[in-house]
A and B are shown apart, each in its own frame.
Chain A
Amino acid sequence: MLDQLLLARWQFAITTVYHFLFVPLTLGLSILIALMHTQYYRTNNEHYKKMTKFWGKLFLINFAMGVATGIVQEFQFGMNWSEYSRFVGDIFGAPLAIEALAAFFIESTFLGVWIFGWDKLPKKIHLASIWLVAFASNLSAFWILTANSFMQNPQGYILANGRAEMTDFGALLLNPYLWHQFPHVVTAGVKTAAFFIMGISAYHLAKKQDSLFFRTSFKWGAVVGVIASLLVAGIGHMQGQFLIDVQPMKMAAAEAHWETADPADFIALAGIDQENGQNSWEIAVPNMLSFLSYNSFSGEVRGIHDLQAEYTAQYGEGNYIPQVAPLFWSFRLMVGSGGLMILLALFGLYLAWKEKSVKPKWYLKVMLFAIALPYLANTAGWLITEMGRQPWIVYGLQKTADGVSTVMPAGYILLTLIGFTAIYGILAVVDVYLLSKFAKKSPDETAEITRNEEGSVWI
């Protein structure tokens, strides 16, 4: 029998993972397009205008999907998670409202201004409008992550009147969880955009199409890609060490680290046996987990079983162990693709730096498929974040099972789950079709279409 909780969780997982396929590219590409536009503004070189428009077109297709799926997110808390909404609304609602008011208004208004503004606005104002879009997109991420950080590591609240109430707005904003997560997400967004640009440029370079345009684009992608992929990894590492402190269970599960140990071994690969609370086999690197956790080859890392006992003592009887296998493998997927991206970006930068006009064919081919890597890593990262928080919906304060709406029958949730999945599936096909159609065009064609559509723009 499918129950409300399970259905609501599936719905949240599907709609959120789907929404976040579009968000990182918006975050990163908006910045890169603003930079291209700035280059055009400074040099008055048509080349950069072409770049701005070509990548801008792809940006807009992606942006529309992000907006359309974003509205669902705001409604979903009330629809499926009404008890959660009552419990944390006093705190959680504020950043969502501020996001709309402070960020989303700017983003949507000035994107309209920018799209329709070629040749219609003073150049300075036109340039400012795309920077406002880039700024607001990332500001929007900040507010959403402020809300999420409260769920992960509650700060600045008291429990009163049967709910969590805000006592310190500043503490909400200074939540150290937020200041690890926000830079990680933003740099991941920039990295996503860099790989998007490198991948599509590689496709054209392999076909020897307009190679100057795509050589420049590729170079931009490579430079940004190296910086961003190193930053993502560095910040991610710090975030991991931070989590050992505030969410030890999440990290223990992500490392399949069952028993407390000092020094602790790092388990590279393992067969997870959740039922018996152990790994059926494992390949371990001695003392490495202590090193990763504390930058020293000694130091106690608490294991899942001890943490379970601790939580039972603290919060009462219950199962506090999240699903270990998906966490463990998501973590390896995220870190593995992260490492691969660093190598690919570095090699790309080397090629671009050497000014090699002919890049190795295999590399160009790999880079086209490497567009998928940041998407895999982004998704895996969120799965760790959200599944690792279980069984809590608000860490230590409310369990997921207590947050779900109970007023409507499970059939309603099933119906909307099917509805969203179906329409999201269709839109995925349309989106990929449009993106690849415009990605394959030569920049001159895009410029031509764009000119014809100007004023009407893209509509």
Chain B
Amino acid sequence: MDLNILWFCLIAILFTGFFFLEGFDYGVGMLTSIVGKNDTERRIVLNTIGPFWDGNEVWLLTAGGAIFAAFPNWYATLFSGFYLALFLVLLTLIIRCVGIEFRSKVDSLKWRNTWDLLISIASFLSAFLWGVAVSNLMKGVPIDAEMNFVGNFFTLLTPFTIVGGLVFVVLFLFHGALFLRLKASGEDLQKRIANIAVKSGVILVVAVLLWVALALMTTDIFSKIPSLVLVVLAAVALLASVYLQMKNKLGISFAASAITIVLVTMAVFIGMFPRVLISTLNPNWSLTIYNASSSPYTLKIMTIIAITLVPIVLLYQSWNYWVYRKRVTAEDVEY
């Protein structure tokens, strides 16, 4: 396996990790204002991701850094091309970050409710934008022979990509609800969460079917057999997750929704391979893991560093989840 392929896989893994981990963070963020009826409940909800969300976000930063280091042309074309979309992503990330840190710093309901609402909206918009972005990676965008994006912001919004955005929103909402089923305590709160989990699960199944159907019509991503197999397996995992959730098998249901996210992300990346940015103008103008990559020397250095560090990161992040594995209770957030 050459290093270009290795780095493509590594970036795919980083995005998979990001969507799996930040996925429930986004869901929890959206649910804060929806299921938390008072300040204590909202604090319980937010505190379930308290020790984790910042570390989870680093998966994105690392993915961004890895794209820059391993495939500079991909980084340059993607970031300048998806300009306003990424600007909006940045705004939502900033608001979420300071919102989570600042909301409890002032003892005023107005202050806290405002931040909670902002956290929820930012989480929603973030999830939506990632869905749009991924769908555009699948569909391809207008890229000319000089690797330059020649569309504008509205080029990125098509029925398929908007459905993709909504799929990500509902998927993360569902995933986040399942996380809260495991981590938050409070009988009433749990009832509300369970209710949302059921509803979002059902909507999700429909939305995913629509999205996959549109993808089959407008992209070639799922026309590769391994990719199609993975997406079918993802659908099975999703159905299992919805069903198990209703049966109150919470742990395994959350695992199944995590597997759904992992499989979908893998299916998309495998479908793209070896392209990293598909040109809708001319297939030959697509960016690939070869024409977008760094020099062999840089890839070699980065490979040594990544292979050394990634296992260590996984080790201490898992340890972090293990240390704070207990449910967050009202006693944790009150006197």
Contacts and interface: CB of A to CB of B under 8 A. Distances in A.
| A, B from the same assembly | yes
Interface of A: 60-61, 63-65, 67-69, 71-72, 74-75, 77-80, 82-83, 85-86, 88-94, 96-102, 104-106, 108-113, 115-117, 120-121, 160-161, 163, 165-167, 169, 405-409, 412, 415-416, 419, 423, 427, 430, 434, 437-438, 452-459
A158 to B, nearest CB: 9
Contacts, number: 242
Contacts of B46: 459
Q: Is the contact region of chain B dominated by helix, strand, or loop, or is it mixed?
A: helix
B206 interface: no
B320 A113 contact: yes
B80 A405 contact: yes
Given A108-B58, A407-B149, A456-B47, A97 B295 contact: no
B98 A64 contact: yes
A452 B335 contact: yes
B104 interface: yes
Contact of A85 (B65, B70, B76, B101): B76
Contacts of B87: 79, 415-416, 419
B136 to A, nearest CB: 15
Contacts of A63: 101
B7 to A, nearest CB: 10
Interface string B57-75: 1101110111111101101
B213 interface: no
A89 B69 contact: yes
11 contacts: A71-B94, A82-B76, A83-B76, A89-B73, A97-B68, A100-B61, A113-B51, A120-B323, A415-B87, A423-B91, A457-B47
A456 B298 contact: no
B185 to A, nearest CB: 12
A407 B80 CA distance: 7
A77 B68 contact: yes
A230 B67 CA distance: 41
Contact of A97 (B76, B95, B152, B302): B302
- Top 4 closest A-B pairs, CB basis? A89-B72, A78-B79, A97-B65, A93-B69
Interface residues of B, number: 76
Contacts of B97: 64, 67-68, 71
B50 interface: yes
Contacts of B93: 68, 71
Nearest to B65: A97
Nearest to A90: B294
A459 B104 contact: yes
Q: Is the contact region of chain A dominated by helix, strand, or loop, or is it mixed?
A: helix
B313 A105 contact: yes
Interface string B26-48: 00000000000000000110110
A419 B91 contact: yes
Contacts of A72: 90, 94
Contacts of A93: 65, 67-70, 72, 75, 294, 298
A104 B58 contact: yes
B68 to A, nearest CB: 3
B50 A116 contact: yes
B154 interface: no
Given A109-B320, A437-B105, A456-B104, 19 more contacts: A68-B97, A71-B57, A74-B65, A78-B79, A80-B80, A89-B75, A98-B302, A104-B62, A105-B317, A109-B54, A111-B54, A112-B320, A121-B323, A163-B72, A166-B298, A412-B84, A412-B153, A423-B91, A423-B94
Contact of A453 (B64, B100, B104, B295): B104
Given A82-B80, A89-B75, A455 B69 contact: no
Contacts of A79: 79-80, 83, 86-87
A82 B294 contact: no
Contacts of B328: 455-456
Nearest to B63: A100
B317 A109 contact: yes
Contact of A166 (B43, B91, B297): B297
Nearest to A413: B83
B334 interface: yes
Contacts of B100: 459
A408 B68 CA distance: 20
Contacts of A408: 80, 83, 152
Given A67-B97, A89-B75, A61 B105 contact: yes
B175 to A, nearest CB: 20
Nearest to B78: A78
B105 A109 contact: no
Contacts of B1: none
